[in-house]
């Protein structure tokens, strides 16, 4: 078993390290890795073997000691009925939701309650791409699991709600029937907790909750505290440790709220003041926050090295990209994360 993997596993279990490791729990697939394996990007989302090969390819080219599955944000949305475009005619374009599954949060509650009443129907949700991701995690574990850490990624509850319910109706419900939104988010949190636990059972070493849409930077601290925070707390409480919460946008004014989620680690993006975030997170690991566009995609080794040094000086426990990698990021830039 590699020393890099051992160090990261120790860190995720809250053991302090003398030097912060560099890895990621967000999407880190690259066009160079995909091409090196003779794959097409749109294929890797619906074939377990190809997904596993793609997930490990960045490590094999760059040495970044992590792999994250799935390779897109829409697995759970698809399981709940959203229509997904896998961008078969694009070179390196991520899938996207083309049609929401339901017209309102109220419909979502009824749908999930119906599934809950029948264990076979509920399991059928997993017999879609969720089971495929589990198989890909197992294959990745067999391939490189002794060398690197493997992350299972799920969306946050609010992010998933945005993907499966028509936005207009949802925003009306938030204003006129907030209890409906609370119920829907709690139902989603329970569903996501089962997905995350299934990923862990398949061999993932940790779970990242990628709550891009639910960031207080986007919906505001008040709405975050009212709607998102209770759902995130429930999800994190139900998930097996270690649990990383990834939040986008400038959350400097909301770090005290993020600290209440119960996450073992919080990943922040490049807009955050890391030193200020560190000052608030007393008992929570802080991961971040190398700019995935300006530094890792468009920058050079010297710029990335400077950013890594700054992050370490600010007190991060691990050096992470601030968000998902741009697939066209140069491999030499990813290597520079570890210098």
CATH number of the domain enclosing 251: 3.20.20.210
Predicted pLDDT at 121: 62
Q: How confident is the model at residue 105 (pLDDT cuts 50, 70, 90)?
A: very high
Section 27-34 average pLDDT: 97
- Cα(290)–Cα(304) distance, rounded to whole angstroms? 8
Number of Cβ within 10 Å of residue 241's Cβ equals: 14
Distant-in-sequence, close-in-space partners of 270: CB < 8 Å, separation ≥ 6: 288, 289, 290, 291, 292, 294, 295, 322
Whether pLDDT at 119 is above 70: no
| Count of helices and strands (H, E) across the chain | 17, 9
Q: Note whether residue 285 is domain-resident.
A: yes
Please provide residue 249's backbone torsions phi and psi, each rounded to the nearest 5 degrees.
85, 175
Q: Note whether residue 160 is domain-resident.
A: yes
Predicted pLDDT at 197: 96
Whether pLDDT at 16 is above 90: no
Whether pLDDT at 112 is above 90: no
Distant-in-sequence, close-in-space partners of 198: CB < 8 Å, separation ≥ 6: 126, 130, 134
What b/e sequence results for 204-229 when a residue is b if at least 16 CB atoms lie within 10 Å of its CB, and e otherwise? bbbbbbbbbbbbbbbbeeebbeebbb
Section 48-57 average pLDDT: 98
The pTM assigned to this predicted structure is 0.95
Q: Note whether residue 16 is domain-resident.
A: no
Q: How confident is the model at residue 213 (pLDDT cuts 50, 70, 90)?
A: very high
Predicted pLDDT at 194: 93
**How far is the CA of 124 from the CAs of 114, 185, 249, in angstroms?**
12, 21, 35
Q: Note whether residue 17 is domain-resident.
A: no
For 242, the enclosing helix (H) or strand (E) is none
Predicted pLDDT at 134: 96
Q: Note whether residue 291 is domain-resident.
A: yes
- Cα(115)–Cα(120) distance, rounded to whole angstroms? 8
Q: How confident is the model at residue 180 (pLDDT cuts 50, 70, 90)?
A: very high
Section 82-108 average pLDDT: 91
For 124, the enclosing helix (H) or strand (E) is helix 119-126
Range of the domain at 84: 3-11+22-336
The vertex-88 CA angle with 45 and 48, nearest 5°, equals 20
Number of domains comprising the chain: 1
């Amino acid at each position: 078993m590699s020393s890099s993997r051992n160090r990261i596993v120790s860190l995720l279990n809250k053991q302090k390290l003398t030097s912060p490791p560099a890895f990621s729990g967000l999407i880190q697939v690259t066009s160079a890795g995909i091409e090196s394996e003779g794959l097409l990007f749109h294929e890797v989302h619906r074939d377990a073997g190809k997904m596993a090969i793609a997930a490990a390819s960045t490590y094999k080219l760059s040495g970044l000691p992590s792999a994250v599955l799935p390779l897109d944000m829409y697995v759970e949305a698809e399981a709940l009925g959203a229509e997904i475009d896998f961008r078969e005619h694009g070179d390196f374009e991520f899938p996207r939701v083309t049609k929401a599954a339901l017209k309102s949060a109220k419909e979502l509650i009824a749908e999930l309650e119906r599934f809950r009443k029948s264990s076979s129907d509920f399991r059928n949700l997993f017999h879609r791409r969720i089971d495929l991701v589990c198989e890909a995690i197992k294959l990745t574990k067999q391939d490189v699991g002794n060398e690197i850490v493997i992350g299972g990624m799920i969306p946050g509850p609010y992010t998933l709600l945005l993907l499966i319910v028509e936005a207009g109706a949802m925003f009306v419900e938030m204003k006129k029937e907030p209890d409906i939104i609370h119920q829907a988010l709690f139902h989603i949190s329970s569903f996501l907790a089962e997905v995350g636990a299934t990923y862990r059972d398949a061999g993932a070493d940790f779970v990242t909750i990628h709550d891009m849409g639910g960031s207080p930077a986007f919906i505001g601290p008040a709405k975050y505290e009212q709607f998102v925070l209770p759902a995130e707390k429930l999800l994190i409480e139900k998930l097996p440790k270690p649990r990383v919460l990834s939040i986008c946008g400038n959350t400097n004014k909301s770090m005290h709220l993020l600290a209440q989620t119960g996450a073992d680690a919080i990943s922040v993006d490049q807009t955050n003041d890391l030193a200020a975030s560190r000052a608030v997170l007393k008992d929570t690991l802080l991961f971040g926050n190398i700019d995935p566009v300006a530094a890792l995609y468009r920058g050079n080794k010297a710029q990335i090295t400077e950013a890594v040094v700054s992050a370490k000086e600010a007190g991060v426990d691990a050096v992470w990209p601030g968000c998902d990698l741009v697939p066209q990021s140069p491999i030499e830039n990813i290597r520079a994360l570890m210098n």
